Chain A
Amino acid sequence: MPARKIHSTWQSCRWLGLGLWLLGASAAAQTLTLVSYGGSYGRSVERAWVEPFMAETGIEVRMEDYNGGLAQIRAQVETGNVFWDVVDLTTPDAVRACDEGLLEFVMLADLPAADGTPASEDFLPDSRSECSGGGLVSATIVAFNNQQFPDAPPSRLEDFFDLERFPGRRGMRRVPIANLEFALLADGVPINEVYATLDTDAGIARAFAKLDTIKDEIVFWEAGAQPPQMLADEEVVMTTAYNGRIFNAQVLENQPFTIIWDGQLQETSGPGIVLGTPRLEIARRFIEFMSRPESLAAISKYISYSPTRYSANAMVDSHRETGIAMGPHMPSAPANMKRALISDWLWWADNGDEMNERFAVWLSR
């Protein structure tokens, strides 16, 4: 190849490289990465928050799925290579991540209610960490497939642990959270004594002893999308699940599932911003957008999770596709609250590691 030609090829390579670099840089500045839990919840997030946000701001949002936990966030912050911007976090995870300096602070003053109520009075108590925005209340509940129990269906949390009257396999998330609480509730511990009981060694032993009674029948799940699938496949007769996933299977896929609201465990979640993201500005805009009461209320058009803001709860209406009134399907509906436990995120932030370890030992036996 003659020298001149090489030179011109080299030149064009350089221009091409510069162009690609500019393209990459501009794309990086414009695209926000939002990490959530996927499945039917992920689709609800996309329709209620992501699409309106893109329409309003012109900022591109890319969605990614995960199954919770802080490992990836921690790895990104520690290596200084942050490619997740906004992450949907459960409140205990948000508290831990905030304390460990993995998230940016989110100022309440930036999230006013539509009617001018200060945000500090608008959020449910203890529903957010200093690093997360407005979020949702969800419940872990027990659900079953009607076809498996045509005559006498289960109706109480105790029935999940009753293999004699309701034989068959049980689905359960492969973590101690919720399962320990359910075990104690079903063993007769009153709602307001559950965490005090778990604070003692005897209480923990009692919870595991209760789990032992159904251990051989348990099939474990990890992603929130699995339990409705396991019920539909008749792989299990009953399973713990997130109420919104079961709701969506009921109304969108006409699955014959029933939720047992008795003994539900309510948790909150909200989005946080990964510390050190180069897209901090658009991440803040997204948090501000989705924390608006009307945005929080909008997701209830797609899935039965209720907002953590009082002013948003008043705006909850009906399901977009079927027109069902959403109120009765929410974890906080009075009829569903007869025996409901609010998850103690502080207890879990403190004892999560030890409980996980004990749970792992229990699993392996």
Chain B
Amino acid sequence: MAITLKRWDRQALGAALLVAPLAIFVAVTFVAPLATMLVRSVYQPAVAEALPETLAALAEWDGGSLPDEETFRIAGAEFVALNERRALGSVATRVNRLESGMRSTLLGTARSLAAETPSASWREAMIAADADWGAIESWLAIRRAGEVITPRYYLNALDLDRGGAGEIVVQPEDRRIYVSLLLRTLAISIAITGICLLLAYPVAWLLAHARPRRAGLLLLLVLVPFWTSLLVRTTSWIVLLQNQGVINDLLVTLGILAEQQRLALIYNMTGTIIAMVHVLLPFMILPLYSIMRAIPERHMQAAASLGASHWQALRRVYWPQSLPGVAAGSLLVFILSIGYYITPALVGGRTGQLISSMIAYHMEQSLNWGLAAALGGILLLLVGTLFFIYDRLVGVDRMRLGG
């Protein structure tokens, strides 16, 4: 007994050592960034750390009328000190997101206060430096920017905001974007999954049941694009689909279309769907193929010998057996397409963008990482929920990527 236990221990240790590199890799490149991102979507300490005294003074302020002289003095002095350390700019950028114009209000006021320290009233000096200090909204914006734990980004990501009294309000119509974009992303992903399934099923069937030589050749036709760089494939679609591209030229030359009727096949939703279906097709074909290869051909023959028509045999014998492949392929394609970025960015134009483009935009351009993180968090939650529902309906254990 003792000996077997010891041996088992050693085996377990060996196994642990074998998976350790992968576990570390996943922890460093996947779990840690994901956790950082989720934390960032609610936890934003930068302003609170930069303006502790101002925020302490504002915490006691009623928010209904202008703050008192003492608050003005504390805030003004803190702005000046921060600007000397060149730290006011990033605070100003964050406050500016809540109230446009606050960036120059903060920086300009800090400069004029530094040039001449007010001898009498700080309140009057600050309002003289910038009239915005006479508006309650400016102070509310600073107080809100100072929240360390904030649901703001999740609210913004759902086109909501908080009103003056802290109640949740829907954003004005010309500021709403994320909910409709999220729904569009879901719809497109479902459409792409459906199209992929329709296209892949017959191909996988051919692959699985053709003679070995031909099957090998077919498989190569599936795999070569799969191995080709994503960028090359996407830009090839640009060559084919653009206004002056191969397909339009051909249609015009053949007289099917007039010069003025050239089809808009790219830089719109059509372009995104075509290119993404092509890019993701192998992820549907390969799981289907590996499942179908394991379905014995005798089953179809048996069904036929029992009097089933070809269609009946396909529907009642073959299709149920291929379901694990359908499920695996669909889930794979759906999850990949819901977060897809590069292809829509290149061929999506204005109308073919998915939610990923907004995440990238807030990461790279607006530098509003909190909002980007919240959008990513919502996407993650969505995929998690779908996975859960899928598990309940189909069962993850029934999903197989290989026979």
Contact = CB atoms under 8 A, between A and B. Distances in A.
Given A96-B89, A218-B350, A356 B366 contact: yes
Interface stretch (A112-120, A292-300, A345-353): A345-353
Given A71-B365, A234-B244, A361 B177 contact: yes
A356 B358 CA distance: 11
A180 to B, nearest CB: 14
Contacts of A215: 350
A358 B175 contact: yes
Contacts of B174: 205, 208, 358, 361
Interface string B318-330: 0000000000000
B64 to A, nearest CB: 25
Contacts, number: 83
A329 interface: no
B101 A235 contact: no
A16 interface: no
Interface of A: 69-71, 74, 96, 98-101, 169, 205, 208, 215, 218-220, 233-235, 346, 349-351, 353-354, 356-358, 360-361, 363-364
Given A71-B367, A220-B349, A100 B89 contact: yes
Given A101-B87, A353-B96, A71 B364 contact: yes
B180 A364 contact: yes
Contact of A360 (B88, B177, B351, B364): B177
Given A100-B93, A356-B366, A357-B175, A346 B104 contact: yes
B238 to A, nearest CB: 10
Interface residues of B, number: 37
B350 A363 contact: yes
Interface of B: 85-90, 92-93, 96-97, 100-101, 103-104, 107, 174-177, 180-181, 242-244, 267, 349-351, 353, 358, 361, 363-368
A358 B87 CA distance: 28
Given A220-B350, A354-B100, A360 B367 contact: no
A360 B243 contact: no
A212 B361 CA distance: 22
Identify which of A220, A234, A346, A357 gathers the most chain B CB atoms within 10 Å of its CB: A357
22 contacts: A71-B363, A98-B89, A99-B89, A99-B92, A99-B107, A100-B93, A101-B85, A101-B86, A215-B350, A218-B350, A219-B349, A220-B267, A233-B244, A234-B243, A350-B101, A350-B104, A351-B100, A356-B361, A361-B175, A363-B350, A363-B353, A364-B180
Contact of B365 (A69, A101, A205): A69
